[in-house]
């Protein structure tokens, strides 16, 4: 007994040692970057580090009336000093996200204060330089931009914000986009999963119950797009679907459409759905195929000989047995589609964008990295939950590549 | 219902079913193949010209292929893609194979959780991975370096190796390990001389998958690559976004040929795997 | 056999290491990265500035393309990872980047005109920020394909928004700049009140409401090379575009395009140096080289953009390949200036971020 236990321990240790290098590698090069992103979604120290004295003074301030002369003086001097180091611009950009117009207010005031240091009241000098300093909102914005740990980005990612008193309010109508985009992403992903299932089920059946040689050949047809570069497939869809593309040309040549009636098949939601179904279909066919292969065809025959119609046999006998494949394929396709980026970005145009494109927009264009990180965090939570369900229901070790 | 009618019925159903499947398979394959003839278009259009359809010789040309080879953009990109892809595949294959062997042991505690961790890079949306990596590597001062890209692509490719080697190992008879141990082989010798040769097809398949994943990856390249790291997918991306020129179709044709080659290799390896397992 | 395999793996590791080292070494050599807008303009920059500069100094220049905006520069400066050296910027971008501490200051004091006029008096007013060198005048215009409108072609900016008389899809740059101005002009706002109107919430709402009227027919472009391509492919019937790109498509590719010189937005641009570049010295040499009047004039041999220096304007001559006199094709030609809107870079420097955000929201709806 003692000997077997020891041997078992040694085997476990050996196995753990083999797994460890990759586990550590994944932890460092994958988990750590995701953790960095999640930290960024709540931790933003840049403004606090740039304006320590102003924020210390504002911490004492009641927020109900204008700050006192001393606060004005500290703030004004700090703005000037920062601007001399050319570091005020990035602070101003951050404050401007909370209160539009603060960018020019901060930079303009710093410039005029540097040109002429106020001899008497800083408060009057600053309000004279820019009337915005007479508004409480400007100071509230600076104080809020100085929060090091903030739930702001998660609130913004859910179309919420905090009001002056710190209460949670819904964003004004012209700034609300993320919730509806998230819902749209979910709806589109469900639609894509449904279409894939509808197209894949009969094909997987054919593959599973064909003679081996023929099945092998048909499987190759499924695998060709699976192996082909995603960018190549996207290019193909552009070539096929665009206004002057192959499909529209064909329809016009055949006289089905007039020259003016060419269909808008790409750079919209239609394009996104068509191209994504094409990309994700193999991920549905392959799990279905591997489950269906194990369902003996004679079950269907037995049901038929007992008097069941084809559809009854299909529904009552075959479908239940194929459910594990349906679950595996659907979950996989759904997980892959809610985070999809490349295809919508290239063929989605204005209306065919999913939530991922907003993450890319804030990463690359607006540089609102906190918001990008918060949107990423929400998406990650969603995918993580689904992946957990997949693991429980299907098991990650059942994942196969190409049959 | 008479037997004949029901027979007719089921034949009709069979034809409908096969017709439907043919349509779906056509939908899968035709879009991939359509770019091949179009890449020989003599005109800068993305559709078949009348001349092409009438098979006139001067409607077809190799000009886009000449451009691809002549312009100093695609060949360096190919070199960069190959460098990153082989580096990433090497790391992913080494670490992934070891991990898969470890995971195949029933003795490993917390096996399910470890497996989920190792597979997670494959299912995490690439935009999130890329965003996280761009923060991470620029904090480390490794932004815009080959090192960062190779490490990133290695971790994205490793799940493919784990899965593919794992599939090979599922047909592996663990009695062989015991037999080797009884013959006096130590653990390392058993791994090297018994286990690895038998799962070699799975290892190579995994390596091909990892390489292909890197060779086609663009989002991480966009987010953490600099001007030095303009790989083929990166060039394709900006080509598609900005000025889709028939040159892209020529490159696409090359990539399709490459994909078919990989597919053939994987297919061949799988047959060897079955042969080895039986 | 396994031992050999491990050995060969080790070998390939070493080759990989060597490869990485070599690549690192080549990147460390002094190569200037110049970022510009690509396409036919990029080729003009290459021939008018880059090639002569390399010939004069022996410094290698690598060209990168971008589509305007400050995002990449901000990202590089904020992460301290600067790999762009000189960037071709529109004036509002240059002013904003200069304010935000993203660019090195550029002094042109020691760059007088040939007749001795000091540089400070040689530049068009408001054409340069403290951080940019000599630049070019360009215009965002509306252009169309003649084949689409054989009988009654569009002639005014308003026609871009008139779906009834001129049906079909329109190309538009995926940014608010120029589009908001066009919307207001087409909605009847007088040319000298455009920016005052945009300064109010109601004015911005009015601009977006006007854009809404054609929203479903818009195809967005990002790179300057796209609009001529979209017109040629008949993907759109009309598009906003940079005048030089359309000119080059007309003269170099014989495309049947027409520029509507009405209500166009006239802009200036100039190159800046990204703050903190390790290649500051050669970046300054490049700015100095291309800010010379003769360099600025040289680019007008390849594309219809005129210099922002008076002394350089006098040297503008004819198109290198076709011999066409360039004067009448310039945005600054009097015949083209009958109803031109001069871009208010100060307004855009102040409001650019907010407008970008509102535009993104508008797009996603």
The mean pLDDT of A234-249, rounded to a whole number, is: 90
Chain B residues with CB inside 8 Å of C7's CB?
none
Give the chain A residue nearest B256 (alpha carbons). A228
The β-bridge partners of C33 are C62
C-alpha A401: how far from its chain's center?
Answer: 25
Domain ranges in chain B are 3-63, 72-277
Give the chain A residue nearest B177 (alpha carbons). A11
Determine the pLDDT at residue A400. 67
Determine the pLDDT at residue B238. 87
Any chain B CB within 8 A of the CB of C276?
A: no
> Does the domain spanning B72-277 belong to CATH 1.10.3720.10?
yes
Instruction: Choose the weakest-confidence range: A6-10, A166-170, A199-203, C58-62.
Output: A6-10
Domain C31-137+269-313 identical in fold to domain C139-267+330-364: yes
Chain A residues with CB inside 8 Å of C351's CB?
100
**Which of C145, C154, C212, C155 shows the shortest CA–CA distance to C183?**
C212
Instruction: Choose the weakest-confidence range: A91-105, B115-129, C11-25.
Output: C11-25
Q: Do the Cβ atoms of C251 and C322 come closer than 8 Å? A: yes
Task: Compute the distance between CA of residue A132 and CA of residue A96 in angstroms, rounded to an integer.
Answer: 12
Chain C contacts in chain B segment 23-82 (CB below 8 A)? 45-46
Determine the pLDDT at residue A327. 93
**Which of B156, B206, B268, B32 shows the shortest CA–CA distance to A282?**
B32
The mean pLDDT of A137-163, rounded to a whole number, is: 92
Q: Do the Cβ atoms of B183 and B175 come closer than 8 Å? A: no
Chain C residues with CB inside 8 Å of B90's CB?
9, 12-13, 16
**Distance from B20 to chain A by nearest Cα, in Å?**
8
> What does the mean pLDDT of chain A come to?
90
Chains A and B: how many Cβ contacts under 8 Å?
A: 285
Domain ranges in chain C are 31-137+269-313, 139-267+330-364
**Which of A295, A293, A287 shows the shortest CA–CA distance to A402?**
A287
Report the CATH architecture of C31-137+269-313: 3-Layer(aba) Sandwich (3.40)
Give the chain B residue nearest A229 (alpha carbons). B216
Determine the pLDDT at residue C16. 52
Give the chain A residue nearest C101 (alpha carbons). A86
Determine the pLDDT at residue C158. 97
The yes-or-no verdict on residue C350 having pLDDT over 80 is: no
Determine the pLDDT at residue C5. 45
Determine the pLDDT at residue A18. 92
Residue recorded with tokens 């691809």? B68
The yes-or-no verdict on residue C307 having pLDDT over 80 is: yes
Chain A contacts in chain B segment 131-170 (CB below 8 A)? 131-137, 139, 151-152, 154-155, 158, 160, 162-164, 166-167
**What proportion of chain B, given as a percentage, has pLDDT over 70?**
96
Q: Do the Cβ atoms of C43 and C302 come closer than 8 Å? A: yes
Label residue A328 by pLDDT band (50, 70, 90).
very high
Determine the pLDDT at residue A5. 55
C-alpha C200: how far from its chain's center?
Answer: 27
Neighbours of chain A (3+ CB pairs under 8 A): B, C
Chain B contacts in chain A segment 193-222 (CB below 8 A)? 199-200, 202-203, 205-206, 218, 220-222
**Distance from B132 to chain A by nearest Cα, in Å?**
5
> What does the mean pLDDT of chain B come to?
89
Task: Compute the distance between CA of residue B11 and CA of residue A108 in angstroms, rounded to an integer.
Answer: 81
Chain A residues with CB inside 8 Å of C352's CB?
none
The mean pLDDT of A1-10, rounded to a whole number, is: 62
The mean pLDDT of C311-331, rounded to a whole number, is: 92
Q: Is A300 left (phi over 0), alpha (psi -120 to 50) or beta?
A: alpha
- Residue A52 CB coordination number (10 Å): 12
Task: Compute the distance between CA of residue B222 and CA of residue B83 in angstroms, rounded to an integer.
Answer: 17
pLDDT per position as a tens digit, B114-130: 999 999 999 999 999 99
pLDDT per position as a tens digit, C261-294: 999 999 999 999 999 999 999 999 999 999 999 9
Q: Is B188 exposed, middle or buried (0-12, 13-18, 19+ CB in 10 A)?
A: exposed
Chain C residues with CB inside 8 Å of B41's CB?
none
Chain B residues with CB inside 8 Å of A236's CB?
31-32, 34-35, 252
The yes-or-no verdict on residue C10 having pLDDT over 60 is: no
Determine the pLDDT at residue C28. 47
**Nearest Cβ partner of A310 from B13, B28, B152?**
B13
**Nearest Cβ partner of A225 from B32, B125, B244?**
B32
**What proportion of chain C, given as a percentage, has pLDDT over 90?**
67
Determine the pLDDT at residue B22. 96
Determine the pLDDT at residue B7. 77
Torsion C191-C193-C198-C203 (CA) sign: negative
Pairing of strands C341-342, C257-273: parallel
Neighbours of chain B (3+ CB pairs under 8 A): A, C
Domain ranges in chain A are 46-149, 178-398
Contact flag A379-B128 (C-beta cutoff 8 Å): yes
Determine the pLDDT at residue C129. 86
Determine the pLDDT at residue A24. 97
pLDDT per position as a tens digit, B55-68: 888 889 999 999 89
Determine the pLDDT at residue A99. 83
Residues A16-36 as b/e (b if ≥16 CB within 10 A, e otherwise) read bebbebbbebbeebbbebbeb
**What proportion of chain A, given as a percentage, has pLDDT over 90?**
67
The mean pLDDT of C296-304, rounded to a whole number, is: 95
Q: Which CATH number fits domain A178-398: 1.10.3720.10, 3.40.50.720, 3.65.10.10, 3.40.50.1100?
A: 1.10.3720.10
Chains A and C: how many Cβ contacts under 8 Å?
A: 72
Chain B residues with CB inside 8 Å of C62's CB?
227
Determine the pLDDT at residue C110. 66
pLDDT per position as a tens digit, C203-242: 999 999 999 999 999 999 988 989 998 898 888 999 999 9
Label residue C38 by pLDDT band (50, 70, 90).
confident
ipTM of predicted complex:
0.92
**Nearest Cβ partner of B243 from C2, C3, C223?**
C223
Question: Which long-range contacts link A139-142 to residues 24+ away (Cβ below 8 Å)?
Answer: A139/A58, A139/A61, A139/A63, A139/A66, A139/A67, A140/A63, A140/A99, A140/A164, A141/A95, A141/A98, A141/A99, A141/A102, A142/A47, A142/A51, A142/A54, A142/A55, A142/A58, A142/A75, A142/A95, A142/A102
Chain A residues with CB inside 8 Å of B162's CB?
22
Higher-pLDDT residue of C127, B113: B113
Chain A contacts in chain B segment 37-96 (CB below 8 A)? 38, 45-48, 91, 95-96
Task: Compute the distance between CA of residue A50 and CA of residue A142 in angstroms, rounded to an integer.
Answer: 11
Q: Could you tell me the two tokens for A148? A: 């090091």
The yes-or-no verdict on residue C76 having pLDDT over 70 is: yes
Pairing of strands C31-36, C60-65: parallel
Give the chain A residue nearest C233 (alpha carbons). A244
The yes-or-no verdict on residue C24 having pLDDT over 50 is: no
Chain B contacts in chain C segment 70-99 (CB below 8 A)? 79-81, 83-84
Q: Do the Cβ atoms of A329 and A284 come closer than 8 Å? A: yes
Label residue B76 by pLDDT band (50, 70, 90).
very high
Question: Which long-range contacts link A175-180 to residues 24+ away (Cβ below 8 Å)?
Answer: A175/C361, A177/A358, A177/C361, A177/C364, A177/C365, A178/A355, A178/A358, A178/A375
The mean pLDDT of C321-342, rounded to a whole number, is: 94
Q: Looking at the domain covering C139-267+330-364, what would its CATH class be?
A: alpha beta
Label residue C6 by pLDDT band (50, 70, 90).
very low
- Rounded to a whole number of angstroms, the distance between the first and last alpha carbons of chain B is 48
Between the alpha carbon of residue B204 and those of residues B80, B91, B167, the distances in Å are: 22, 13, 12
C252 three-class SS = helix
Determine the pLDDT at residue B278. 37
Task: Compute the distance between CA of residue B111 and CA of residue B222 in angstroms, rounded to an integer.
Answer: 35
pLDDT per position as a tens digit, A53-76: 999 999 999 888 999 999 999 999
Instruction: Choose the weakest-confidence range: A41-45, B191-195, C130-134.
Output: B191-195
Chain C residues at the A interface, defined by Cβ less than 8 Å, are: 69, 71-72, 74-75, 78, 99-102, 167, 169, 218-220, 233-235, 275, 349-351, 353-354, 356-358, 360-361, 363-365
Any chain B CB within 8 A of the CB of C317?
A: no
Q: Is B103 exposed, middle or buried (0-12, 13-18, 19+ CB in 10 A)?
A: buried
């Amino acid at each position: 007994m003692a000997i077997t236990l020891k041997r078992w321990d040694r085997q476990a240790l050996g196995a753990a040692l083999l797994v460890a290098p990759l586990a550590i590698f994944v932890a460092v090069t994958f988990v750590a970057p995701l953790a960095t992103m999640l930290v960024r979604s709540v931790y933003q120290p840049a403004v606090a580090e740039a304006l320590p004295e102003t924020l210390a003074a504002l911490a004492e301030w009641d927020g109900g009336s204008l700050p006192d002369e001393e606060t004005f003086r500290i703030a004004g001097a700090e703005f000037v000093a920062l601007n001399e180091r050319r570091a005020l611009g990035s602070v101003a950009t951050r404050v401007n996200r909370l209160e539009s117009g603060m960018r020019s207010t901060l930079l303009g005031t710093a410039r005029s204060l540097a040109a002429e240091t106020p001899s008497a009241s800083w408060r009057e000098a600053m309000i004279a330089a820019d009337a915005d300093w007479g508004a409480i909102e400007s100071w509230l914005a600076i104080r809020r931009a100085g929060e090091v740990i903030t739930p702001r980005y998660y609130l913004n990612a859910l179309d919420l914000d905090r009001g002056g008193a710190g209460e949670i309010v819904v964003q004004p109508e012209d700034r609300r986009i993320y919730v509806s985009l998230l819902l749209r992403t979910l709806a589109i992903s469900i639609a894509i999963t449904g279409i894939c299932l509808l197209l894949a089920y009969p094909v997987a059946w054919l593959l599973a119950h064909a003679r081996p040689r023929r099945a092998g050949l048909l499987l190759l047809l499924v695998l060709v797009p699976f192996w082909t570069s995603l960018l190549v497939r996207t290019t193909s869809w552009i070539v096929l679907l665009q206004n002057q593309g192959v499909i529209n040309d064909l329809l016009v040549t055949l006289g089905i459409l007039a020259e003016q009636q060419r269909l808008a098949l790409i750079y919209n939601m239609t394009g996104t759905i068509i191209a994504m179904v094409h990309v994700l279909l193999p991920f549905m066919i392959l799990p279905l195929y591997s489950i269906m292969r194990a369902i003996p065809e004679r079950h269907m025959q037995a049901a038929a000989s007992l008097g069941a119609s084809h559809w009854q046999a299909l529904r009552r006998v075959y479908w239940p047995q194929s459910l594990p494949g349906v679950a595996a394929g659907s979950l996989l396709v759904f997980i892959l589609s809610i985070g999809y980026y490349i295809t919508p970005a290239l063929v989605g145009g204005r209306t065919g964008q999913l939530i991922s494109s907003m993450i890319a927009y804030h990463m690359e264009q607006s540089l609102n990295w906190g918001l990008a990180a918060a949107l990423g965090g929400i998406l990650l939570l969603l995918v993580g939950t689904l992946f957990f369900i997949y693991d429980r229901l299907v098991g990650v070790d059942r994942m196969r590549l190409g049959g | 219902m008479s037997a004949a009618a029901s027979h007719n019925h089921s034949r009709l159903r069979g034809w409908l079913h096969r017709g439907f499947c043919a349509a779906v398979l056509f939908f899968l394959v035709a879009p991939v193949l359509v770019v091949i003839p179009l890449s020989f278009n003599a005109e800068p259009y993305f559709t078949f010209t009348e001349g092409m359809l009438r098979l006139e010789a001067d409607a077809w040309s190799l000009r886009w292929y000449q451009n691809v080879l002549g312009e100093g953009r695609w060949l360096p990109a190919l070199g960069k893609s190959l460098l990153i892809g082989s580096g990433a595949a090497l790391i992913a294959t080494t670490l992934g194979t070891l991990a898969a062997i470890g995971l195949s042991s029933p003795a490993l505690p917390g096996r399910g959780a470890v497996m989920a961790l190792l597979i997670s890079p494959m299912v995490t949306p690439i935009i999130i991975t890329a965003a996280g990596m761009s923060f991470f590597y620029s904090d480390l001062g490794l932004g815009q370096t080959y090192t960062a890209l190779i490490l990133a692509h290695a971790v994205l490719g490793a799940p493919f190796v784990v899965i593919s080697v794992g599939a090979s190992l599922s047909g592996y008879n663990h009695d062989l390990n015991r037999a080797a141990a009884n013959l006096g082989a130590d653990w390392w010798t058993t791994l090297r001389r018994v286990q690895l040769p038998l799962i070699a097809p799975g290892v190579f398949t995994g390596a091909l998958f990892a390489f292909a994943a890197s060779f086609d990856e663009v989002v991480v390249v966009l987010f953490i690559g600099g001007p030095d790291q303009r790989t083929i997918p990166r060039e394709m991306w900006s080509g598609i976004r900005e000025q889709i020129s028939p040159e892209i179709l020529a490159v696409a044709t090359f990539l399709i040929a490459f994909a078919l080659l990989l597919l053939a290799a994987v297919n061949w390896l799988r047959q060897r795997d079955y042969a080895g397992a039986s | 056999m396994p031992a050999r395999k491990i050995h060969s793996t080790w070998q390939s590791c070493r080759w990989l290491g060597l490869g990485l080292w070599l690549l690192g070494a080549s990147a460390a050599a002094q190569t200037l990265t110049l970022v510009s807008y690509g396409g036919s303009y990029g080729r003009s920059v290459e021939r008018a500035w880059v090639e002569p500069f390399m010939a004069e100094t022996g410094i290698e220049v690598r060209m990168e393309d971008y589509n305007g905006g400050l995002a990449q520069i901000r990202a590089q400066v904020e992460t301290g990872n600067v790999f762009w050296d000189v960037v071709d910027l529109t004036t509002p971008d240059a002013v904003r980047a200069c304010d935000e501490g993203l660019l090195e200051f550029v002094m042109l004091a020691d760059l007088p005109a040939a007749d001795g006029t000091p540089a400070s008096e040689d530049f068009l007013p408001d054409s340069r920020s403290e951080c940019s060198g000599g630049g070019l005048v360009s215009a965002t215009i509306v252009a169309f394909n003649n084949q689409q409108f054989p009988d009654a072609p569009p002639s005014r900016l308003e026609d871009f928004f008139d779906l009834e008389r001129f049906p079909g899809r329109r190309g538009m740059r995926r940014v608010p700049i120029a589009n908001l101005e066009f919307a207001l002009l087409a909605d009847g706002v007088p040319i000298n009140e455009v920016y005052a109107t945009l300064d109010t919430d109601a004015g911005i709402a009015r601009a977006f409401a006007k854009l809404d009227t054609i929203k479903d027919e818009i195809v967005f472009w990002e790179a300057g090379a796209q609009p001529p391509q979209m017109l040629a492919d008949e993907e759109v019937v009309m598009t906003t575009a940079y005048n030089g790109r359309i000119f080059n498509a007309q003269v170099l590719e014989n495309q049947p395009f027409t520029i509507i010189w009405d209500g166009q937005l006239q802009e200036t641009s100039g190159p800046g140096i990204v703050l903190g570049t390790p290649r500051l010295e050669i970046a300054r040499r490049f700015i100095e080289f291309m800010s010379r009047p003769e360099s600025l004039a040289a680019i007008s041999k390849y594309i219809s953009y005129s210099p922002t220096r008076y002394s350089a304007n006098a040297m503008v001559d004819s198109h290198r390949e076709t011999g066409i006199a360039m004067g009448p094709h310039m945005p600054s030609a009097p015949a083209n200036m009958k109803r031109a809107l001069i871009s208010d870079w100060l307004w855009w420097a102040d409001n650019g971020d907010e407008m970008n955000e509102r535009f993104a929201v508008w797009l996603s709806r």
